[in-house]
Amino acid sequence: SYKLHYRSTISHNALGKPHHRGMAVYSSELWDEIRGKLSMFPGGSVNLVKQESGIAVLTVNNPDRMNAFSGTMMLELQDRVSQLENWKEGKGLIVHGAGGTFCSGSDLNAVRAISNPQDGMKMCMFMQDTLTRLLRLPLISVALVEGRALGGGAELTTACDFRLMTPSSEIQFVHKHMGLVPGWGGAARLVRIVGSQGALKLLAAALKVDSALAERIGLSDGVVATGAGTALAEAEHWLGDFTRGPAPVIQAIKKVALSGRERPLEDALRKEKEVFGTVWGGSANLEALARKSKHK
């Protein structure tokens, strides 16, 4: 049986080094074994560029396989999340795919090779843990969906605070067609985004959700234009409205919104007090008081 712990303060990155800002779901005792298994399925990469603006771009890069996740990409994703957990200057994150499409889920070649229940459970736990930590980053995150987001790719979109789509893009939880249910935490998160009725419909019909439907049901937060570099530039512009300001304040806003979303009320109130204490009397607060700001 696997140990669950929801409030870890110490977890490990892909290289096995401990870090202290983690928000892991499972105990890291089993990670060495899981890492060994995943490292047997190479291909593609997960690239991270941290920009001076405080917005980082994470690229799922395996275009020959429609950006499907190989085993080593799962390891790299965990490592990138660890780097972002420790990025003090960070404010925002855009997650997108290379070559004009988002992600087609797990690499079916790897899936075929590890189709036994034990390995499936390990992969499931590993990705649940990584994507939970992604969602809990103190950064405002947006998934930019161009082309297709299928299966685990659709689940990845739900591990961001927001989703933006190009007009012809689609999100589809195809799991039912594969004889599966989401296993990367996508069902639990989808219910929180579109409600239980909406999630049940999307999962049970394996509905192709285009950009118009996604916006109508609250799965998408807006449409951006297609074109080489255009969608990414538009996503950065969109995110800029939410990340303007000092990093400690933006990170504090994400933390209070996150605790309100995840914790019972009294616990969330305590967390809000704790975060409030980190910005009250801080430099941004004192500068605003000195400016005698008016909010007309």
Ligand X SMILES: CCCC(=O)SCCNC(=O)CCNC(=O)[C@H](O)C(C)(C)COP(=O)(O)OP(=O)(O)OC[C@H]1O[C@@H](n2cnc3c(N)ncnc32)[C@H](O)[C@@H]1OP(=O)(O)O
Q: Does 188 bind ligand X (CB under 6 A)?
A: no
- How far from 125 is each of 120, 130, 208, CA to CA, in Å? 9, 9, 26
DSSP state at residue 197: H
Stretch of 102-110, 245-253, 257-265, 271-279 lying at the interface with ligand X (CB under 6 A)? 102-110
Token digits of residue 147: 């082309």
Q: How far is CA 75 from the centre of its chain?
A: 15
Q: Does 284 bind ligand X (CB under 6 A)?
A: no
Comparison of 178 and 284: residue with beta carbon closer to ligand X: 178
Comparison of 206 and 217: residue with beta carbon closer to ligand X: 206
Comparison of 77 and 253: residue with beta carbon closer to ligand X: 77
* Residues sharing a CB contact under 8 Å with residue 44, sequence separation 6 or more, in sequence order: 60, 61, 62, 65, 67, 68, 69, 70, 72, 73
Find the shortest distance in angstroms from Cβ 237 to ligand X.
28
Q: Enumerate the H helices of 148-210 as residue ranges.
A: 152-157, 186-204
Which of 9, 51, 109, 230 touches ligand X by CB under 6 A? 109
Q: Does 107 bind ligand X (CB under 6 A)?
A: yes
Which of 80, 122, 148, 254 touches ligand X by CB under 6 A? 148
Distance separating alpha carbons of residues 136 and 132, to the nearest angstrom: 6
Site for ligand X in 26-65 (CB under 6 A): 65
Q: Does 201 bind ligand X (CB under 6 A)?
A: no
Which of 30, 113, 121, 180 touches ligand X by CB under 6 A? 180
Q: Does 185 bind ligand X (CB under 6 A)?
A: no
Comparison of 180 and 213: residue with beta carbon closer to ligand X: 180
Comparison of 96 and 175: residue with beta carbon closer to ligand X: 175
Reported as type and span, the H/E element at residue 164 is strand 162-165
Q: Does 184 bind ligand X (CB under 6 A)?
A: yes
Stretch of 36-44, 78-86, 98-106, 131-139 lying at the interface with ligand X (CB under 6 A)? 98-106
Q: Does 74 bind ligand X (CB under 6 A)?
A: no
Reduced to 3 states, what is the DSSP secondary structure of residue 167?
coil
Residue nearest to ligand X (CB): 105
| Nearest C-alpha neighbor of 193 from the set 159, 230, 237 | 159
Find the shortest distance in angstroms from Cβ 168 to ligand X.
12
Q: Rounded to the nearest 10 degrees, what angle do helices 71-85 and 31-38 cross at?
A: 130
Q: Does 233 bind ligand X (CB under 6 A)?
A: no
Distance separating alpha carbons of residues 72 and 77, to the nearest angstrom: 9
Stretch of 32-40, 72-80, 176-184, 203-211 lying at the interface with ligand X (CB under 6 A)? 176-184
Q: Does 152 bind ligand X (CB under 6 A)?
A: yes
Q: Does 206 bind ligand X (CB under 6 A)?
A: no
- How far from 248 is each of 42, 286, 290, CA to CA, in Å? 37, 13, 19
- How far from 5 is each of 23, 25, 114, 287, 295, CA to CA, in Å? 10, 6, 26, 40, 43
Q: Does 90 bind ligand X (CB under 6 A)?
A: no
Site of interaction with ligand X (CB under 6 A): 65-66, 68, 104-109, 148, 150-152, 174-175, 178, 180, 183-184
